[in-house]
C-alpha cells in the first residue's frame, strides 16, 4: 500500500493565481485525490496553459491555517 492510497479523498482547498484575463483570483473549491494519486479540481476561472496556481488546504481543525503550495496546472482531457 503506497502513500497516495492513504491520502485519497476529498479536501476543501483555496486556490489562487492569475487567470486568462491576467487578473489575480482566489477561489475555494474541492480537491479530489484518487487512490492512484491523481489530483483534480474544478475552477470557475479559466487558466492559461501551464499556469502556476497556489493551493492551500482549508483545515477546520487548525486555527492558524496552512501554507500555500505552488503547482503547475495541467490540461484536463475528458
Instruction: Give the C-alpha separation, 51 to 14, whole Å.
Output: 16
Tens of pLDDT, residue by residue over 17-66, are 999 988 999 999 999 988 888 888 889 999 988 899 999 999 776 656 68
Instruction: Give the C-alpha separation, 57 to 11, whole Å.
Output: 7
Residues 6+ apart with CB under 8 A from 3: none
Residue 69's pLDDT band, with cuts at 50, 70 and 90, is: very high
Tens of pLDDT, residue by residue over 3-22, are 545 678 899 999 999 999 88
Of residues 42 and 74, the one with the higher pLDDT is: 42
Residue 1's pLDDT band, with cuts at 50, 70 and 90, is: very low
Amino acid at each position: 500500500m503506497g502513500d497516495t492510497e492513504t491520502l485519497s479523498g476529498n479536501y476543501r482547498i483555496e486556490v489562487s493565481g492569475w487567470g486568462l484575463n491576467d487578473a489575480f483570483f482566489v477561489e475555494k473549491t474541492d480537491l479530489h485525490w484518487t487512490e492512484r494519486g491523481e489530483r483534480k479540481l474544478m475552477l470557475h476561472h479559466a487558466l492559461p496553459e501551464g499556469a502556476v496556481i497556489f493551493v492551500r488546504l482549508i483545515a477546520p481543525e487548525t486555527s492558524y491555517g496552512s501554507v500555500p503550495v505552488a503547482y503547475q496546472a495541467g490540461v484536463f482531457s475528458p
